[in-house]
Amino acid sequence: MIFECGKYTRKLATPPSLLGFAAVAGKKEREGPLGLEIDNVVEDTFGCNSWEKAESEMQKQAAKLALTKAGLAPPDIDYVFAGDLLNQCIGSHYGMRELGIPFIGLYGACSTMAESLAMAAIFVGGGIAKHTMAVTSSHFCAAERQFRFPLEYGGVRTPTAQWTVTGAGAVVLGAGETLPYVRAVTIGAIEDKGIVDISNMGAAMAPAAAETISRFLRDTNTNPSNYDLILTGDLAAVGSELLVQLLQLDGIDISENHADCGLMIYDRDKQDVNAGGSGCGCAATVLCSHIIPQMRKGKMKNVLFCATGALMSTVSIQQGESIPGIAHLIHLSNE
């Protein structure tokens, strides 16, 4: 059963377990602070002859590993929720094609790990499915040439720009005793404060994150100190600072227990990533390589996972549009 909790939040009375999870990523991510926790790391082409095919391969590997770790096979999964950044989400379509699982395609840009987890949890918690899977990915080279410039061009990136993570994450959900559980979900609305600089997506996404976190805390009548960690998706350096400021204006202080996946996955002093990491694979890799294992070991009991997305395209930006942002929140808990 699923219960309304305030206007925007849904609590899961029988919270689904994260039965299995996996992160697969590239060489640069291996060299980052979480590198040794990533399940599988290979060279960035993953044995494929294009970066887009490599991204699909990463998704497939992550999904298969998560299934194996859950002790399940594709026919055991009722629905897979997946999406990515590539035009028409081909990372997911070719990645999930051979698994044969009923497929619900999502587009949430870099918020996809939270969006897919939210749907996957609601389907299990609402009794619609026994087992579900949430999957997403991004690939630096595929994203760079699609959204920005050919890599060969070697364009200089601005200080506010973020580095798209080459990584994929997959989580299998179902009833069980395995920690952690998904306790609650808050789906965000589109927020657009008029940011037009595509090299500053942190600023475009921060208002959405602030609104979603604020809605969740109000709906549940809790405050930041009730959580071990409030983890945003990929706001990186600029967006994280803005988020803390925006929430302070709203009377909410997350400065003591906020972290951002975009600031965790790389060492900004040693790795050339400007403001930090981004991409669907950023939140997915950090969640599946580091956060869930930390919770399973009991090192954290309550985590708010709030992945953020920038919903523009190159066409909308060229036509002078601003960047709409979105953020979805998942309350992960051992309790």
Q: Interface residues with a second copy (CB under 8 A)? A: 1-2, 8, 10, 49-50, 52-53, 79, 83, 85-90, 93-94, 96-97, 100-109, 115, 119, 122-123, 126-128, 146, 187-190, 192, 311-316, 319, 321, 324, 326
Q: Where are the beta strands (DSSP E) in 250-301?
A: 258-260, 277-278
Q: Which of 247, 241, 239, 227 is nearest to 303 (CA)?
A: 227
Contacts of 156 (CB under 8 A, 6+ apart): none
CB of 49 to a second copy, least distance (A): 8
Of residues 124 and 295, the one with the C-beta less far from a second copy: 124
Q: Which of 262, 313, 284, 307 is nearest to 58 (CA)?
A: 284
CB of 127 to a second copy, least distance (A): 6
238: enclosing H helix or E strand = helix 236-249
As a whole number of angstroms, the distance between CA 151 and CA 99 comes to 32
CB of 175 to a second copy, least distance (A): 14
CB of 96 to a second copy, least distance (A): 6
CB of 98 to a second copy, least distance (A): 9
Of residues 33 and 105, the one with the C-beta less far from a second copy: 105
- Within 10 angstroms of residue 87's Cβ, the number of other Cβ atoms is 12
Tell the residue number behind the tokens 């589109």, with chain if given.
190
Of residues 34 and 198, the one with the C-beta less far from a second copy: 198
Of residues 25 and 82, the one with the C-beta less far from a second copy: 82
Residue 114: both structure tokens together: 């939270």
Of residues 126 and 293, the one with the C-beta less far from a second copy: 126
Q: Please tell me what DSSP assigns to residue 290.
A: I
| 304 touches 188 (CB < 8 A) | no
Of residues 42 and 90, the one with the C-beta less far from a second copy: 90
> 195 in the Ramachandran plot: left (φ > 0), alpha (ψ -120 to 50) or beta?
beta
CB of 309 to a second copy, least distance (A): 8
